[in-house]
Amino acid sequence: MNMFTKAITKKPCKALIDGISTAQFVEAGEKPEYELSARQHDKYVEILESLGLEVLDLEADERYPDSCFTEDPAVVMERCAVITNPAKDSRNGEKEEILPAIRKFYSDDQIFHIEAPGTMEGGDVMRVGDHFYVGQSDRTNAEGARQFNEIVTKFGYTSSTVPVTEGLHLKDFAIYLENNNMLVTETVNKLEAFKDFNRFVVSPDELYAINSLYINGTVLVPEGYPKTLKIIEDLGYPVKLVDTSEFKKIDGSLTCLSLRF
Protein backbone atom coordinates (compact mmCIF):
# COMPACT_ATOMS: atom_id res chain seq x y z
CA MET A 1 0.00 0.00 0.00
CA ASN A 2 1.48 3.32 -1.09
CA MET A 3 1.86 6.09 1.47
CA PHE A 4 2.45 9.60 0.23
CA THR A 5 4.59 12.23 1.92
CA LYS A 6 5.01 14.81 -0.87
CA ALA A 7 3.06 16.37 -3.71
CA ILE A 8 3.73 18.81 -6.53
CA THR A 9 0.88 21.09 -7.57
CA LYS A 10 0.67 24.17 -9.79
CA LYS A 11 -1.61 27.14 -9.45
CA PRO A 12 -4.13 27.62 -12.28
CA CYS A 13 -3.38 30.45 -14.69
CA LYS A 14 -5.79 32.99 -16.14
CA ALA A 15 -5.36 31.29 -19.52
CA LEU A 16 -7.22 28.32 -17.97
CA ILE A 17 -10.27 29.42 -19.96
CA ASP A 18 -8.42 28.25 -23.08
CA GLY A 19 -7.68 24.80 -21.69
CA ILE A 20 -8.35 21.72 -23.81
CA SER A 21 -11.88 20.40 -23.41
CA THR A 22 -13.55 17.37 -24.95
CA ALA A 23 -16.76 18.31 -23.08
CA GLN A 24 -16.98 14.72 -21.86
CA PHE A 25 -18.40 15.76 -18.49
CA VAL A 26 -19.94 19.21 -19.20
CA GLU A 27 -21.91 21.06 -21.85
CA ALA A 28 -19.85 22.04 -24.89
CA GLY A 29 -18.54 25.58 -24.60
CA GLU A 30 -18.56 25.84 -20.80
CA LYS A 31 -15.54 27.82 -19.62
CA PRO A 32 -13.91 27.74 -16.18
CA GLU A 33 -13.97 30.82 -13.98
CA TYR A 34 -10.42 31.75 -13.00
CA GLU A 35 -11.04 33.22 -9.53
CA LEU A 36 -13.15 30.25 -8.47
CA SER A 37 -10.62 27.79 -9.88
CA ALA A 38 -7.88 29.49 -7.84
CA ARG A 39 -9.92 29.10 -4.66
CA GLN A 40 -10.67 25.47 -5.46
CA HIS A 41 -6.98 24.83 -6.08
CA ASP A 42 -5.98 26.40 -2.75
CA LYS A 43 -8.54 24.23 -0.94
CA TYR A 44 -7.21 21.13 -2.70
CA VAL A 45 -3.67 21.95 -1.53
CA GLU A 46 -4.97 22.54 2.00
CA ILE A 47 -6.60 19.09 1.99
CA LEU A 48 -3.40 17.39 0.80
CA GLU A 49 -1.48 19.11 3.59
CA SER A 50 -4.09 18.04 6.15
CA LEU A 51 -3.44 14.43 5.10
CA GLY A 52 0.25 14.74 5.89
CA LEU A 53 1.74 15.74 2.54
CA GLU A 54 4.40 18.39 2.09
CA VAL A 55 3.19 20.27 -0.99
CA LEU A 56 5.38 22.14 -3.46
CA ASP A 57 2.86 24.52 -5.05
CA LEU A 58 4.33 25.96 -8.24
CA GLU A 59 3.42 29.36 -9.60
CA ALA A 60 0.99 29.65 -12.50
CA ASP A 61 2.33 29.66 -16.06
CA GLU A 62 0.23 31.64 -18.53
CA ARG A 63 1.95 29.96 -21.49
CA TYR A 64 0.26 26.65 -20.73
CA PRO A 65 -3.50 26.81 -20.04
CA ASP A 66 -3.64 23.21 -18.77
CA SER A 67 -0.46 23.29 -16.70
CA CYS A 68 -2.27 23.10 -13.35
CA PHE A 69 -2.72 19.41 -14.19
CA THR A 70 0.73 18.41 -12.98
CA GLU A 71 -0.02 14.69 -13.11
CA ASP A 72 0.32 14.61 -16.90
CA PRO A 73 3.89 15.80 -17.67
CA ALA A 74 5.54 13.35 -15.23
CA VAL A 75 5.05 10.02 -13.49
CA VAL A 76 6.77 9.78 -10.12
CA MET A 77 7.51 6.89 -7.80
CA GLU A 78 9.95 6.10 -5.00
CA ARG A 79 12.89 4.97 -7.12
CA CYS A 80 12.64 7.10 -10.24
CA ALA A 81 10.69 9.74 -12.13
CA VAL A 82 9.61 9.68 -15.76
CA ILE A 83 9.13 12.91 -17.68
CA THR A 84 6.39 12.17 -20.18
CA ASN A 85 5.89 13.48 -23.71
CA PRO A 86 2.38 14.98 -23.94
CA ALA A 87 0.75 14.41 -27.32
CA LYS A 88 -0.91 17.82 -27.66
CA ASP A 89 1.28 20.68 -28.87
CA SER A 90 -0.30 23.10 -26.39
CA ARG A 91 0.80 20.86 -23.51
CA ASN A 92 4.10 19.43 -24.72
CA GLY A 93 6.20 22.25 -23.23
CA GLU A 94 4.92 21.40 -19.75
CA LYS A 95 7.44 18.55 -19.62
CA GLU A 96 10.29 21.07 -19.57
CA GLU A 97 8.62 23.30 -16.99
CA ILE A 98 8.01 20.47 -14.51
CA LEU A 99 11.64 19.31 -14.67
CA PRO A 100 13.12 21.81 -12.14
CA ALA A 101 10.51 20.74 -9.57
CA ILE A 102 11.27 17.06 -10.20
CA ARG A 103 14.99 17.75 -9.72
CA LYS A 104 14.29 18.98 -6.19
CA PHE A 105 13.43 15.39 -5.25
CA TYR A 106 15.31 13.15 -7.69
CA SER A 107 18.93 12.96 -8.81
CA ASP A 108 19.75 13.08 -12.52
CA ASP A 109 20.33 9.33 -12.64
CA GLN A 110 16.77 8.80 -11.38
CA ILE A 111 15.10 10.98 -14.04
CA PHE A 112 14.14 9.57 -17.43
CA HIS A 113 12.29 10.88 -20.47
CA ILE A 114 9.75 9.49 -22.91
CA GLU A 115 11.13 10.37 -26.33
CA ALA A 116 9.33 10.89 -29.66
CA PRO A 117 7.73 9.10 -31.39
CA GLY A 118 6.57 7.89 -27.99
CA THR A 119 3.82 9.93 -26.33
CA MET A 120 2.51 9.66 -22.79
CA GLU A 121 0.47 11.57 -20.24
CA GLY A 122 0.34 10.66 -16.56
CA GLY A 123 -3.44 10.47 -16.56
CA ASP A 124 -3.06 7.20 -18.44
CA VAL A 125 -0.83 5.62 -15.79
CA MET A 126 -2.54 3.87 -12.86
CA ARG A 127 -0.39 2.36 -10.15
CA VAL A 128 -1.33 -0.75 -8.17
CA GLY A 129 1.43 -1.67 -5.74
CA ASP A 130 4.60 -1.90 -7.82
CA HIS A 131 2.69 -2.47 -11.05
CA PHE A 132 1.59 0.21 -13.50
CA TYR A 133 -1.37 -0.15 -15.83
CA VAL A 134 -0.73 2.09 -18.83
CA GLY A 135 -3.73 3.11 -20.89
CA GLN A 136 -3.17 3.25 -24.63
CA SER A 137 -5.16 6.27 -25.71
CA ASP A 138 -5.06 9.29 -27.98
CA ARG A 139 -2.53 10.77 -25.52
CA THR A 140 -0.38 7.69 -24.77
CA ASN A 141 0.77 5.47 -27.62
CA ALA A 142 2.30 2.01 -27.75
CA GLU A 143 5.84 3.38 -28.13
CA GLY A 144 5.41 5.60 -25.06
CA ALA A 145 4.18 2.61 -23.08
CA ARG A 146 7.10 0.51 -24.30
CA GLN A 147 9.66 3.12 -23.23
CA PHE A 148 7.95 3.51 -19.86
CA ASN A 149 8.12 -0.24 -19.26
CA GLU A 150 11.80 -0.29 -20.23
CA ILE A 151 12.51 2.45 -17.67
CA VAL A 152 10.53 1.23 -14.68
CA THR A 153 11.54 -2.42 -14.92
CA LYS A 154 15.13 -1.33 -14.25
CA PHE A 155 13.94 -0.23 -10.80
CA GLY A 156 11.93 -3.31 -9.89
CA TYR A 157 8.52 -2.15 -11.10
CA THR A 158 6.37 -3.79 -13.77
CA SER A 159 3.85 -2.47 -16.26
CA SER A 160 1.25 -3.62 -18.75
CA THR A 161 -1.06 -1.90 -21.21
CA VAL A 162 -4.84 -1.68 -21.35
CA PRO A 163 -6.97 -0.06 -24.05
CA VAL A 164 -8.67 3.29 -23.44
CA THR A 165 -11.78 2.98 -25.57
CA GLU A 166 -13.80 5.81 -24.03
CA GLY A 167 -12.89 9.39 -23.28
CA LEU A 168 -9.50 10.91 -22.55
CA HIS A 169 -7.33 9.09 -19.99
CA LEU A 170 -7.42 5.70 -18.31
CA LYS A 171 -7.93 7.21 -14.86
CA ASP A 172 -11.10 8.93 -16.02
CA PHE A 173 -12.66 5.48 -16.30
CA ALA A 174 -10.80 3.30 -13.79
CA ILE A 175 -9.28 4.24 -10.45
CA TYR A 176 -7.61 2.11 -7.82
CA LEU A 177 -8.57 2.82 -4.20
CA GLU A 178 -6.14 0.38 -2.52
CA ASN A 179 -7.36 -2.71 -0.62
CA ASN A 180 -8.00 -4.35 -4.02
CA ASN A 181 -10.94 -2.01 -4.70
CA MET A 182 -11.47 -0.25 -8.01
CA LEU A 183 -14.07 2.16 -9.40
CA VAL A 184 -14.83 1.47 -13.07
CA THR A 185 -17.23 2.10 -15.92
CA GLU A 186 -19.34 -0.71 -17.35
CA THR A 187 -16.89 -1.00 -20.26
CA VAL A 188 -13.76 -1.17 -18.10
CA ASN A 189 -15.49 -3.68 -15.84
CA LYS A 190 -15.29 -6.19 -18.71
CA LEU A 191 -11.52 -5.91 -19.18
CA GLU A 192 -9.67 -9.14 -18.45
CA ALA A 193 -6.78 -7.13 -16.95
CA PHE A 194 -8.90 -6.08 -13.97
CA LYS A 195 -10.79 -9.33 -13.32
CA ASP A 196 -9.08 -10.03 -9.98
CA PHE A 197 -10.05 -6.69 -8.40
CA ASN A 198 -13.17 -5.87 -6.42
CA ARG A 199 -14.77 -3.72 -9.14
CA PHE A 200 -17.51 -1.24 -8.39
CA VAL A 201 -19.34 0.07 -11.44
CA VAL A 202 -20.17 3.76 -11.21
CA SER A 203 -23.53 4.94 -12.49
CA PRO A 204 -23.35 6.41 -16.03
CA ASP A 205 -24.63 9.76 -14.73
CA GLU A 206 -21.74 9.96 -12.23
CA LEU A 207 -18.77 8.95 -14.38
CA TYR A 208 -16.81 12.04 -13.40
CA ALA A 209 -16.67 10.73 -9.82
CA ILE A 210 -14.66 7.67 -10.85
CA ASN A 211 -11.62 9.91 -10.59
CA SER A 212 -11.58 9.91 -6.82
CA LEU A 213 -8.22 10.05 -5.08
CA TYR A 214 -6.88 7.74 -2.36
CA ILE A 215 -4.45 9.54 -0.04
CA ASN A 216 -3.05 7.74 3.01
CA GLY A 217 -6.28 5.99 3.95
CA THR A 218 -8.69 8.78 3.01
CA VAL A 219 -10.48 9.14 -0.31
CA LEU A 220 -11.03 12.54 -1.89
CA VAL A 221 -14.32 12.54 -3.81
CA PRO A 222 -15.65 15.28 -6.10
CA GLU A 223 -18.71 17.06 -4.77
CA GLY A 224 -22.11 16.29 -6.21
CA TYR A 225 -22.05 12.54 -6.81
CA PRO A 226 -24.04 10.87 -4.01
CA LYS A 227 -24.21 7.36 -5.47
CA THR A 228 -20.46 7.12 -5.91
CA LEU A 229 -19.92 8.68 -2.49
CA LYS A 230 -22.06 5.96 -0.95
CA ILE A 231 -20.05 3.21 -2.68
CA ILE A 232 -16.85 4.61 -1.22
CA GLU A 233 -18.27 5.20 2.25
CA ASP A 234 -19.80 1.70 2.31
CA LEU A 235 -16.30 0.33 1.66
CA GLY A 236 -15.24 1.95 4.93
CA TYR A 237 -13.01 4.75 3.64
CA PRO A 238 -12.99 8.13 5.39
CA VAL A 239 -13.98 10.70 2.77
CA LYS A 240 -13.24 14.35 2.02
CA LEU A 241 -15.49 16.08 -0.52
CA VAL A 242 -13.72 18.43 -2.92
CA ASP A 243 -15.26 20.97 -5.29
CA THR A 244 -13.57 20.70 -8.71
CA SER A 245 -16.35 22.24 -10.80
CA GLU A 246 -14.06 24.60 -12.74
CA PHE A 247 -11.44 21.99 -13.57
CA LYS A 248 -14.13 19.62 -14.81
CA LYS A 249 -14.88 22.11 -17.60
CA ILE A 250 -11.45 21.42 -19.13
CA ASP A 251 -11.39 17.67 -18.48
CA GLY A 252 -9.59 18.02 -15.12
CA SER A 253 -10.28 16.03 -11.97
CA LEU A 254 -8.80 15.13 -8.60
CA THR A 255 -5.79 13.03 -9.58
CA CYS A 256 -4.84 15.42 -12.41
CA LEU A 257 -4.17 18.27 -10.00
CA SER A 258 -1.11 16.80 -8.29
CA LEU A 259 1.92 14.56 -8.51
CA ARG A 260 2.03 12.44 -5.37
CA PHE A 261 4.95 10.42 -4.04
Burial 235-259 (b: 16+ CB within 10 A, else e): eebeeeebebbbbbbbbbbbbbbbb
Q: Is 95 in contact with 101 (CB distance < 8 Å)? A: no
Q: Which residues are catalytic?
A: 169, 256
Q: Which amino acid is at 159?
A: S
- Say what the pLDDT of residue 11 is: 98
- Say what the pLDDT of residue 22 is: 73
- Mean pLDDT of the 257-261 span: 98
Please write the tens of the pLDDT for every residue from 231-242. Answer: 999 999 999 999
Note whether residue 1 is domain-resident.
no
Q: Is 160 in contact with 193 (CB distance < 8 Å)? A: yes
Note whether residue 51 is domain-resident.
yes
Nearest to 20 by CA among 64, 61, 85, 71: 64
In whole angstroms, give the CA distance from residue 224 to residue 209: 9
- Mean pLDDT of the 158-170 span: 94
Please write the tens of the pLDDT for every residue from 182-211. Answer: 999 999 999 999 999 999 999 999 999 999
Q: Is 165 in contact with 191 (CB distance < 8 Å)? A: no
pLDDT band at 23 (very low <50, low <70, confident <90, very high): low
Note whether residue 34 is domain-resident.
yes
- Mean pLDDT of the 15-28 span: 79
Q: What is the CATH number of the domain that holds 100?
A: 3.75.10.10
In whole angstroms, give the CA distance from residue 91 to residue 97: 10
φ/ψ region of 36 (left if φ > 0, alpha if ψ in -120 to 50, else beta) reads alpha
Nearest-Å Rg of the Cα atoms of the chain is 17
Nearest to 173 by CA among 243, 124, 109: 124
Please write the tens of the pLDDT for every residue from 115-126. Answer: 999 999 999 999
What's the mean per-residue pLDDT of the chain? 96
CB within 8 Å of 162: residues ≥ 6 apart = 133, 134, 135, 136, 170, 174, 191, 193, 194
In whole angstroms, give the CA distance from residue 179 to residue 31: 37
**Which residue range is the domain that position 106 belongs to?**
6-260
Please write the tens of the pLDDT for every residue from 119-150. Answer: 999 999 999 999 999 999 999 999 999 999 99
Q: In which element (H, E) is residue 103 found?
A: helix 94-103
In whole angstroms, give the CA distance from residue 208 to residue 205: 8
Note whether residue 151 is domain-resident.
yes
Note whether residue 78 is domain-resident.
yes
In whole angstroms, give the CA distance from residue 213 to residue 211: 6
Q: Which amino acid is at 202?
A: V
Total domains present in the chain:
1
